[in-house]
């Protein structure tokens, strides 16, 4: 199944007509028909919008059940307030604004072992529940050298039952992260997120949204992008927000 077929499948499952989808996206129904018949393809900015409307990940729309759908490649860099203002102005001029939102993430770990350890320089895995608008998303990540990770997530539709499952499995809450995020599309390939995190400060996160190569090669490209944006690579954060909150680091 290709991109057009996946759009058509998801649209029909939502009970949305081609004309209705076209109206939401401010395109014509002929454009939708062209995408779904694979005569043309939407650009990444439009794919992001389609994913939000059809409530599906960008990875699935682009790759389907290909394993790349479950890989995330990103870098996160700590910024001072002044650095944040400078990069914010740069991104506003060079990238396409997507959205502002508040994100609330609660992190958990099994009682019999720790995901986050004070004596470790990097974090290998985490489990979190994230609130995104009116949705709750359960997300698990398993990192490889903090360059890229396996990522699996599902939408939660029954909080009470999930709480019961967590108690049975011995999962305990370890941290809560609240942040305000501004998101941009850069070079029609990267998602740039500018974060202000309560009690931690300012960060920039750059994530690959369209893979043209292996994850490790895409990470190298992220480093080049960071250099081009004059970001300080010495401040790459490999521990993650929950680590800093737990250990006040």
119-149 per-position pLDDT tens digit: 655 567 889 999 988 889 999 988 876 677 8
Max alpha carbon distance in the chain (Å)? Answer: 58
Q: Which residue has the higher pLDDT, 201 or 70?
A: 201
Residue 73 buriedness (CB in 10 A; 0-12 / 13-18 / 19+): buried
104-117 burial by CB neighbour count: b if 16+ within 10 A, else e? ebbbbbeeeeebbe
| Residues 194 and 84 sit within 8 Å (Cβ to Cβ) | yes
Quote the CA–CA distance of 194 and 180 in Å, as a whole number.
8
- Res. 166 pLDDT band, cuts 50 70 90: very high
* pLDDT for res 16: 95
| Residues 183 and 98 sit within 8 Å (Cβ to Cβ) | yes
* pLDDT for res 149: 83
Entry pTM = 0.76
Q: Which residue has the higher pLDDT, 229 or 41?
A: 229
Is residue 157 classed as helix, strand or coil in its secondary structure? Answer: coil
pLDDT digits (tens, 9 = 90+) for 24-38: 999 999 999 999 999
Return mean pLDDT, the chain.
89
The domains found in the chain, sorted by start residue, are 3-65 (1.10.260.40), 72-247 (2.40.320.10)
Quote the CA–CA distance of 111 and 181 in Å, as a whole number.
31
Quote the CA–CA distance of 16 and 59 in Å, as a whole number.
21
- Res. 68 pLDDT band, cuts 50 70 90: low
* pLDDT for res 198: 97
Quote the CA–CA distance of 45 and 97 in Å, as a whole number.
10
């Amino acid at each position: 199944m290709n991109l057009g077929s996946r759009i058509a499948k998801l649209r029909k499952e939502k009970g949305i007509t081609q004309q209705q989808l076209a109206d939401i996206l401010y395109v014509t129904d002929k454009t939708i028909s062209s995408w779904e018949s694979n005569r043309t393809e939407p650009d990444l900015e439009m794919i992001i919008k389609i994913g939000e409307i059809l409530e599906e990940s960008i990875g699935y729309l682009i790759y389907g059940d290909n394993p790349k759908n479950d890989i995330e490649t990103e870098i996160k860099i700590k910024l001072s307030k002044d650095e944040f203002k400078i990069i914010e102005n740069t991104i506003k001029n060079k990238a396409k604004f997507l959205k502002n939102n508040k994100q609330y993430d609660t992190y958990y770990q099994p009682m019999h072992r720790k995901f986050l350890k004070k004596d470790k320089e990097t974090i290998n895995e985490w489990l979190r529940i994230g609130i995104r608008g009116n949705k709750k998303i359960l997300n698990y990540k398993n990192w490889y050298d903090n360059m890229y990770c396996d990522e699996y997530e599902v939408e939660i539709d029954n909080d009470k039952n999930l709480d019961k499952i967590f108690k049975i499995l011995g999962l305990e809450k370890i941290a809560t992260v609240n942040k305000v995020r501004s998101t941009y599309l850069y070079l029609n390939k990267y998602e740039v997120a500018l974060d202000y995190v309560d009690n931690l400060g300012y960060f920039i996160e750059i994530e690959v949204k369209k893979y043209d190569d292996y994850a490790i090669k895409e990470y190298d490209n992220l480093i080049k992008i960071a250099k081009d944006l004059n970001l300080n690579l010495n401040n790459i954060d490999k521990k993650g927000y929950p680590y800093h909150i737990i250990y006040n680091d």
